[in-house]
Amino acid sequence: PAAAGTCPVSVQAMAFDPFGDGYQQDPPEYLRWAREQEPTFFSPQLGYWVVTRFDAIKAIFRDNITFSPSIALEKITPTGPEANAVLASYGYAMNRTLVNEDEPAHMPRRRVLMEPFTPEALKAHEPMVRELTRQYVDRFINDGRADLVDQLLWEVPLTVALHFLGVPEEDMDALRRYSIAHTVNTWGRPKPEEQVAVAHAVGNFWQLAGQILAKMRLDPSGPGWMKYGIRQQVLHPEVVTDSYLHSMMMAGIVAAHETTANATANAMKLLLQHPRAWQDICEDPSLIPNAVEECLRHNGSVAAWRRLATTDVVIDGIAIPAGSKLLIVTSSANHDERHFADADLFDIRRDNASEHLTFGYGAHQCMGKNLARMEMQIFLEEFTRRLPHMRLAQQTFSYVPNTSFRGPEHLWVEWDAALNPERNTP
């Protein structure tokens, strides 16, 4: 808090840069000072109010009228005229999906699209996730070394996501490129010269989403959430709109796969950095579900989310005017001592680990959370069983600079293939 007549923005708030290495490497550590001294502050570099404590963030999630999610997918860095012209040339018109839809439109749409996320519906995907994981592990298990991101964690969640959506397996490499471009376009700070390349990728992604949707409309029968959406459109045309379907086809591919790929990479890294915890889950796989929650709490794949204040509000004693944009740093909330005892400690037996805010909270809470959990649990079950002797290779971790989607670009692990347990149990 500033004395009268002094600049109201503190030195730390002035320096806050979510695109720099400090935030990229460890967002909650980077914001420790804020949680302790200035839990809600204005960032002049970003033009956002940054909220860092658990209680404030949960209260914001709980009230989606005062705190509108409408800006959740807005470009955090406005692009220049050249990139905008490129996007326009592709007819780019990403609009409201669910995550950025206001009431009263949001809830009826969420309700009519919920069924494919029920536990019974999700069960149907489990054998495929396990089978795919096994096939991918087979490819490198005798190598003694792998980049888990490139060799499994990107493609398996992408394949699962496409199956879940009902999309035929498309060009995986193109989708990976497009998804990263979408992340940079939405949550990053591309330099002017990068903006044009990003805009072309995002434009192509938008058109591909439109083509996939058009093909799907020819025969929307059978399993898949997007096909289900097309069928629900017939019954509820004003709830499930054309604009929704096209936007969701693109956003859904990212929501369902990039989040989960990153979450698993973060989880594997964290577990291997804590060999005792890794050994514990190898010896007792019943610990895996809570270990997954603790990984999502300690180092989740969504580091921050956004809301727009629709009226004047007070957060942590700070008056914030209507129309303000908020960056709510969920990864910081997850390390708030006021809610999680010894919050920085990684404890796979923590009893309130699942209270993390990595999936958001309230009306918009992640619909795919149980699909993501299931995938993460299966990955850990397969890795602990088949590669319990795996360890982290020496490496430096890099991240795609952005406020929200977070996971290492590569994750090198190594093991002695001669000691693979399956050599002894044919």
Q: What is the dihedral of CA 293, 294, 300, 306, to 10 degrees?
A: 70
Residue 208 or 367 having the CB closest to ligand HEM: 367
- Per CB under 6 A, 69 contacts ligand HEM: yes
Taking CB under 6 A as the criterion, the residue among 367, 374, 378, 387 binding ligand HEM is 367
Interface region with ligand HEM, contact rule CB under 6 A, candidates 39-47, 252-260, 279-287, 316-324 = 252-260
* Least distance from ligand HEM to the Cβ atom of residue 260, Å: 5
- What the block records as the tokens of 260 is 């989960």
Dump strand ranges (E) for 283-408. 305-309, 313-315, 318-320, 325-328, 391-392
Contact pick of 250, 263, 308, 333 for ligand HEM (by CB under 6 A):
263
Our CB check for ligand HEM shows the closer of 301 and 324 to be 301
Stretch that binds ligand HEM, among 20-28, 133-141, 143-151, 355-363 (CB under 6 A): 355-363
Does 61 help bind ligand HEM (rule: CB under 6 A)?
A: yes
Touching ligand HEM, residues 82-121 (CB under 6 A): 98-99, 110
Nearer to ligand HEM, 350 or 364 (CB): 364
Residues between 288 and 307 with contacts to ligand HEM, criterion CB under 6 A = 300-302, 305
**Which pair of tokens denotes residue 3?**
């004395």
Residue nearer to ligand HEM on the CB measure, 9 or 366 = 366
- Cα-based angle 331, 337, 339 (whole degrees, multiple of 5): 80
* Interface with ligand HEM: number of residues (CB under 6 A): 28
Rank residues 24 and 97 by Cβ distance to ligand HEM and give the closer one.
Answer: 97
Spatial separation of the C-alpha atoms in residues 90 and 105, rounded to whole Å: 27
Strands laid side by side in the 325-328 sheet: 40-43, 48-51, 325-328, 305-309, 67-68
Stretch that binds ligand HEM, among 166-174, 257-265, 341-349, 393-401 (CB under 6 A): 257-265
- Give me the torsion for CA of 225, 226, 230, 233, rounded to 10°: 70
Range 86-109 burial, b when 16+ CB lie within 10 A, else e = bbeebebebebbbbbbeeeebeeb
Q: Which residue has the tokens 């909220």?
A: 51
Examine residue 368 and tell whether it contacts ligand HEM (CB under 6 A). yes
What are the residues facing 41 on neighbouring strands?
A: 50
The correct pick among 142, 365, 395, 398 for binding ligand HEM (CB under 6 A) is 365
Number of helical (H) and strand (E) elements in the chain, helices listed first: 20, 10
Measured from the CB atom, is 147 or 258 closer to ligand HEM?
258
Beta carbon of residue 85, minimum distance to ligand HEM (angstroms, whole number): 30
State the Cα–Cα distance between residues 177 and 194, nearest whole angstrom: 14
3-state DSSP assignment of residue 1: coil
Neighbours of 192 (CB within 10 A): 10
Cβ proximity to ligand HEM, 28 vs 360, nearer residue: 360
**What is the DSSP track for 302-315?**
B--EEEEESS-EEE
Among 34, 152, 308, 372, binds ligand HEM (CB under 6 A): 372
Q: CB–CB of 326/51 below 8 Å?
A: yes
Q: Check residue 364 for interaction with ligand HEM (CB under 6 A).
A: yes
Q: Which residues bind ligand HEM (CB under 6 A)?
A: 61, 69, 98-99, 110, 164, 252, 255-256, 259-260, 263, 300-302, 305, 358-362, 364-368, 371-372
